[in-house]
Amino acid sequence: MPVPYSGPDVAAADVDVSSLRPRHARRAMAGIPAIPAIAALALLAGLSGCGKKAEPVEPVRPVRLMQLQSAAGKTAFEFSGEVRPRVESRLGFRVGGKISARLVDVGASVRRGQPLARLDPTDLALAEAAARAQYDAAKTDRDLAQSDLNRYKELAARNFISAAELTRRQATYESAASRLEQAQANLHNQSNQTGYAVLAADADGLVTAVDAEVGQVVTAGQSVIRVAQIAEKEVAIGLPEDQVDMLRGISDVTVRTWAEPDRRLPGRVREISAAADPVTRTYPTRVSVPNPPADLRFGMTAAVTFTRTGESVMIRIPLTALLQDRGNNQVWIYQAAAGGGTGTVKPVTVTLGEPQGNEIEVRQGLAPGQTIVTAGVHLLRPGQKVKPMQGVAPSQPASAPAVAGRKG
C-alpha cells in the first residue's frame, strides 16, 4: 500500500517503498538469485586471464656463410686500362699558309718521310725567287769588287797608287763578300721555307687523328695530323692513392688483352704521375710493353696484373661481411649447434688491410677454417640463432686477381 512521502523540496506524493530497496533485494523479490561478491571477482579474474598474450618466439634468421681459407702470401692486383703509344706526335707545318691537300686518313700506316699534307706554295715560291735574286745581285757585286781589288794590287806593286787606296779596295771587296754570304743564307732559309709546305712523317706510325682540313688556313706549329709511333707501346691505367707506394716497388708485372686473355706479356712500370687525375682521383700510370707484338693495337682493352709475394698467410673476406660498430670493424662468426641445422653468431673485432676489388684483407682477428656470415650482418645480435641459406661456401684463394679499376 502506498505510503505518503514529503520532503523539504518535494511535494508530498505517494512513493513506492519497494523502489528504495537495495538492488539485490529487488532481484530477490523479482525471483532472480543474487550473485555473491566473491564469485563476481573470480569471474572478472577469469576474463582478464583470457586476454594475456603469449611470449614472442625469437625468429631464426637465415644467413649466408663462407668458410675462410688462406693462401701462401701471394696477392695479385689487377687494373684495366687501354693500349696507347708511348709517343704520339701532333704534326704541324713549320710555316703558315692555306692547306691545299691532305694525303692520308685516320688509321693509315705511314713511313718516315712520307708526305701527309701540303700547303699552297705560291707565296713561298715568290719569296724564294726574291731571295735568289738578292743572292745573284750580291754575287755580282762581290765579283766586281774582287776584280777591282786584283787590278789595284797590280798598281800598288808598281807604286802607282797609295797603300790607303789599296786598303779601301780591300774593304770594298770584303763588304761585298759578306753581303753575298748573307744573301746565300737568306736563300737557303727561304728554300727550306718552301720545302716546309709539305708536311712529312718524322717516324713510322699510324695516323690517329686529323685536326685540320683542306682549305683551312693554319699558323706555324698548329696541329694538323697526329701520328702515333708503333715502335713502343704501353698500357695506361690509374692507381688508387692507397696503393701507389706499395705497387711502385713490384717488379712482377704482366699485361693481357681482352681479345686474348690467355696470352700474358711482360710489362714494366715506366711512369707514375706525381698528381692525381682531377676526375677519377687516381694516379695515371704507364706500363710499357717491351717488344710488343704486331697485333697489339692502339685502343685495345688490356689488364695489368701486379703480383706481390709475401711470407705471411693472408685472409680475404667480402666487404659485405664487415660491420661498423662504434668505430670498430667486426665480423660475425658462425657457431654450429650440436644437432646441426641451426647455430648462433658472435661478433669478432678484426684489423683490416688493403682492399682488393670487392674484398678486403684481414690481418688480425680471424683464422683459416672459421665460418663467417657474409650477408645480413646488420640484422644480427650476439647469440642470435641463425640457419644457413645454403651450403658453406669456401673463400677464394688470396692469389686470385681482382679488377680494381680502369683508366681510359
- CA–CA dist 408, 394 (Å, integer): 34
Render pLDDT for 161-183 as a digit per residue (tens, 0 to 9). Answer: 888 999 999 999 999 999 999 99
Contact status, residue 149 vs residue 172, Cβ threshold 8 Å: yes
- Rounded to the nearest integer, the mean pLDDT of the chain is 82
With bands split at pLDDT 50, 70 and 90, how would you rate the model's confidence at 71?
A: low
Angstrom CA distances, 200 to 86, 96, 347, stand at: 20, 15, 70
Q: Residue 332, Cβ neighbours under 10 Å: how many?
A: 26
Nearest to 319 by CA among 287, 356, 283: 356
Residue 387, C-alpha cell as written in the block? 640457419
- CA–CA dist 195, 287 (Å, integer): 38
pLDDT at 199 over 90: yes
DSSP letter at 262 equals T
What are the strands, taking DSSP E only, across 113-194?
115-119
pLDDT at 49 over 70: no
User: 122 by DSSP, 3-state: which?
Assistant: helix
Render pLDDT for 361-380 as a digit per residue (tens, 0 to 9). Answer: 888 888 888 899 998 888 88
Percent of the chain with pLDDT over 90: 50
Q: How many residues does the chain have?
A: 408
Angle at 97 between CA 94 and CA 103, to 5 degrees: 80
- CA–CA dist 99, 285 (Å, integer): 37
Angstrom CA distances, 296 to 95, 96, 386, stand at: 36, 37, 53
pLDDT for res 401: 45
- Direct distance between the N- and C-terminal alpha carbons of the chain, in angstroms, rounded to an integer: 115
The number of C-alpha atoms within 13 Å of 2 and in the hemisphere containing its C-beta is: 7
- CA–CA dist 343, 373 (Å, integer): 12
Q: Which residues pair with 345 in a beta bridge?
A: 334
Contact status, residue 72 vs residue 201, Cβ threshold 8 Å: no
pLDDT at 400 over 50: no
The number of C-alpha atoms within 13 Å of 34 and in the hemisphere containing its C-beta is: 11
pLDDT for res 346: 92
Render pLDDT for 276-294 as a digit per residue (tens, 0 to 9). Answer: 999 999 999 999 999 999 8
Query: Pick the residue with more confidence: 70 or 303?
Result: 303
- CA–CA dist 102, 391 (Å, integer): 67
Bridge pairing between strands 61-67 and 393-394:
parallel
Query: Can you list the domains of the chain with their CATH numbers?
Result: 62-71+312-406 (2.40.420.20), 77-84+230-309 (2.40.30.170), 88-120+198-228 (2.40.50.100), 122-195 (1.10.287.470)
